[in-house]
Each structure stands twice: as C-alpha cells, then as structure tokens.
Amino acid sequence: MKMKFEEELAGKAKEAEKIVLSYLPDDVKLCGTLTSAMNYSVGSGGKRLRPLILLHVYDVLSAAYAGATGRKCAECFAAALEMIHSYSLVHDDLPAMDNDTLRRNNPTVWVKYGEAMAVLAGDALLNYAYETAAGSFDMVDDALHYQLIAKALKYLGSKSGIYGMVGGQCVDVESEKKQIPLDKDALLYVHENKTGALLQASFVIGGILAGADDEELALLSDAALNTGIAFQIRDDILDVEGDEQILGKNIGSDEESGKSTYVSLFGLENAKKDATAYSQKALESIKRLNCDTSFLVSLVEYLTERKY
C-alpha cells in the first residue's frame, strides 16, 4: 500500500516537473545568462510538491464541480507556484541571507552565476510567475472563468507576499540576524507563513480553478495549513531524534545554533502530541472533501509522519 502511494507520488512529481519546465522562458536575446540562471534554479530537482498538489486537487475536484477553468489554467498556476518557490530559494541562499553554497548537492545560483545575477534571476522568476499565471486568462472567454482566474491570482499574491511567505521569511531572518530566538507566537507565525502559505496556495488554488464552492475551499485551506504546521513540527522533532542515516544530514543543528524550535519552546513530548493533533485536523478536513480523497490522505500522512 505504502509502496503504491510512493510510486504514485513519484509519477505525479515527474508529471508536474515536466509541466513546470515547459513554462520556463526560452533564451532571450542578450540575456542568456539570466534565462540560464532561472532554468538552473527551477530545473535542479526538488519534490515538486506544490505544483503536484495544485494539479491533483484541480483534477479530483473539477470532476465534482461544474464550471472548472480547464486544466491548462491549472498548469499555468502550478508552474507559477513552483517559480515562486524557486525564486524564494535563490534569494534565501544569497550571502546576505542564509549564505548557502550548496542546494540539492549543486552550487547555489549565486555561487554559479554571481550575486548580482542571483538577485536578478530571483526577481525575474517572481515576475515570470505572475506573467505565467496571468497567461491563463488567454484560455477562457466568459466572465465566470475570468473571475475564477482573478480570484486564484489574488490568492497567489496574498500567500506569496507580505501577508504570506515573505512575511514569514522576514520574521525568521530578523530573529536570526539579531540573534533573538523566536517566541511561541513568532515561531508559529514563521511555520504558518514561511512554508505553510505556499502549501495553502497549492491546495486552495487547485480548488478555486476547479470551481469548488467556499465551504470546500475552507476545508482545503484548513487541511493545508494544519499539514504545513505538522510538517514543520516534525522537522523540529527529527532534528532532535531523527536517524542521521535516513535523514542524510546531521541532527542537533538547531540546538547548536540556539535556534528556537517547536521542541525547544514546547518540549519534545508536547511537540509529538501537537504534530499528531495538527495532522489529524488536516486529515479530518481532507476526508470531508467532495471527491476521491485517497491520495490526499496518504500525502498528508506522508508529509506529517515522515522519518526523513
């Protein structure tokens, strides 16, 4: 059973990756370095979780609702979401931010192309994400579908920017630069926004473009948020008691660096209890969706109960 899910997940990741890559810009006259840096960043692997979730939610819900926008629109948004995820990594890795030299075993964009080009490649990806998402307007021609795309676009903006991902990054970066550990409120804010917000965008935009009603969208939003928090708590737990061989990285790094984690603020036992509670809440929302939920249930379990 588990093997079957993991195969399905890998297949969906492969499909999502193919779609995302097909939306990257062709070489632009005189700007070869920039397109190369953009493609290097988006093309260098990753789990493709966000686009595959968006496409899957669209697929299962558009079967249940009338009035979906069409799958091509969902593909535009899936590509846009992955571009936004990628730009955030390119900028996060900069010397002025996390100063990381390796990502997925490859040199980071700034190491390979220089800092200035990494700043511009991130900017170009963020902008191109909106160009790509807005391209979906070309695929519809009535007011209802225009409205759905406009709603998806606004949702994407709200979860990517200051009220979402960038807001979370800001709180995280400030705490690190000032070396003031996060308190409980701030840690939850970072967990909800730095990674949770784009996860929400994946679930909810899939639903919006499928034509799902507000009740369904609220379930998707809750499911994504609780999954995101459980995922992050699990991350903090694994840093304390994970298996270094399975994880492929050293444990204990959070404690060493004096970083606030769910475990340091709430204790290991509470962290475990809460991770399970958030995961259960996510599953309850998923199960109330008006569609075949088997893949999503397995996905939430996979993300929140992982050992790696």
Quick one: 54 or 121, whose CB is closer to a second copy? 121
Q: Least distance from C-beta 174 to a second copy, angstroms?
A: 6
Q: Least distance from C-beta 157 to a second copy, angstroms?
A: 4
Quick one: 112 or 306, whose CB is closer to a second copy? 112
Quick one: 156 or 219, whose CB is closer to a second copy? 156
Q: Least distance from C-beta 291 to a second copy, angstroms?
A: 27
Tokens of 228: 């995101």
C-alpha 255/C-alpha 54 separation (Å) is 35
Q: Least distance from C-beta 136 to a second copy, angstroms?
A: 9
Judged by the rule CB under 8 A, the positions of this chain that interact with a second copy are: 25, 28-31, 33-35, 38, 87-88, 91, 94-97, 114-120, 122-124, 126-128, 130-131, 134-135, 137, 141-143, 146-147, 149-150, 153-154, 157-158, 160-163, 166-167, 169-171, 173-174, 177, 185-186, 189
Quick one: 155 or 295, whose CB is closer to a second copy? 155
Quick one: 111 or 277, whose CB is closer to a second copy? 111
Residue positions counted in the chain: 308
Quick one: 131 or 254, whose CB is closer to a second copy? 131
Q: Least distance from C-beta 25 to a second copy, angstroms?
A: 6
Q: Least distance from C-beta 170 to a second copy, angstroms?
A: 4
